[in-house]
Amino acid sequence: MTTSSPVALTSVSPKYCSLQRGIDQVFMSEISNLTVCFCVVYSLEAAEFIPRVEHADREKLEAEAYQYFADHPEMNHTYSGFMGQEPSPDDPNELSYQNRSVQPFYYLLQFAEPFVPGVYHYDLYSPPWEQPTIQTAIDTWKPALTGRFLL
């Protein structure tokens, strides 16, 4: 069997998606398992769904997520709302992981498989190094890669 570098399958969606519309972590797990069956050669490591969420939908989506995680303690996740890179309270020139400020829109990590507690509803548009890549993908409707950066 031929192997290659790990691949992450990411979908950036211009449409809002809610937990009540039939896509949830169980669905993402099933899709990931199915995808892995077809992508073994590519060593698929993760699948993500990243919808664009308008600020007007934030309150509703956060309420749905709070309820979802309250109803699913087996997920072992304490939901904190939309998160992202924001200026640090200690040093405004530095960024830190915290609740996301009010923005006109967000590109949230809505579902990921495997599920990683702490990154659910992370706004990928919040760090400056992600914004040009997301904008390129939106403008061209083609896959785009970020440059290398430290996590």
pLDDT digits (tens, 9 = 90+) for 43-85: 445 566 678 889 999 999 999 999 988 998 988 888 999 999 9
Query: Comparing C-alpha atoms, which of 65, 82, 68 is closest to residue 123?
Result: 82
Q: pLDDT tens digit string along 98-110?
A: 999 999 999 888 7
Give me the number of domains the chain comprises: 1
Phi, psi of 54 (to 5 degrees): -75, 150
| CA 106 – CA 85 distance, rounded (Å) | 12
Q: What is the pLDDT of residue 6?
A: 36
If you average pLDDT over every residue of the chain, what do you get? Answer: 73
The pLDDT of residue 17 is above 60? no
Q: What is the pLDDT of residue 29?
A: 54
* Contact in structure between 117 and 56 (CB atoms under 8 Å): no
Which distant-in-sequence residues (6+ apart) come within 8 Å of 51 by Cβ? 13, 14, 15, 16, 17, 107, 108, 110
Residue 1 maps to a domain: no
Domain that holds residue 12: 7-140
